[in-house]
Amino acid sequence: MRVQVNMDRCQHYGQCVFEAPSNFALNDEDLLEYVAEVDDANLEEVRSAVAVCPVQAITLRS
C-alpha cells in the first residue's frame, strides 16, 4: 500500500502524525513529511490517519 498526500490541500494540522508517527512527521518548519510506502504492520494506523485528516488530504492506494 502507498499513502499519498495532496500537499495543496494539506494544512499541516498534524493529526496524521499523532495517528501514524511511523509514516508522518512535521519537520522543523512544521511542514508535513511522510513515507509513501506503508508497511503492513502500520496499515491500521495509517488508515486512522486518513480518517482523521480534517481536510481529507490523505489517500491510501494499493
Residue 48 confidence (pLDDT)? 98
Task: Count Cβ atoms within 10 A of the Cβ of residue 16 and give its class: 0-12 exposed, 13-18 middle, 19 or more buried.
Answer: buried
Residue 61 confidence (pLDDT)? 95
Rounded CA gap, 60 and 13, in Å?
A: 19
Q: What CATH class is the domain 2-61?
A: alpha beta
Domain ranges for the chain, please list them.
2-61
Which H helix or E strand runs over 61? strand 58-61
Q: Is the dihedral of CA 13, 55, 1, 33 positive or negative?
A: negative
* Amino acid identity, position 7: M
**pLDDT tens series, the chain, 62 aa:** 999 999 999 999 999 999 999 999 999 999 999 999 999 999 999 999 999 999 999 999 99
Residue 49 confidence (pLDDT)? 98
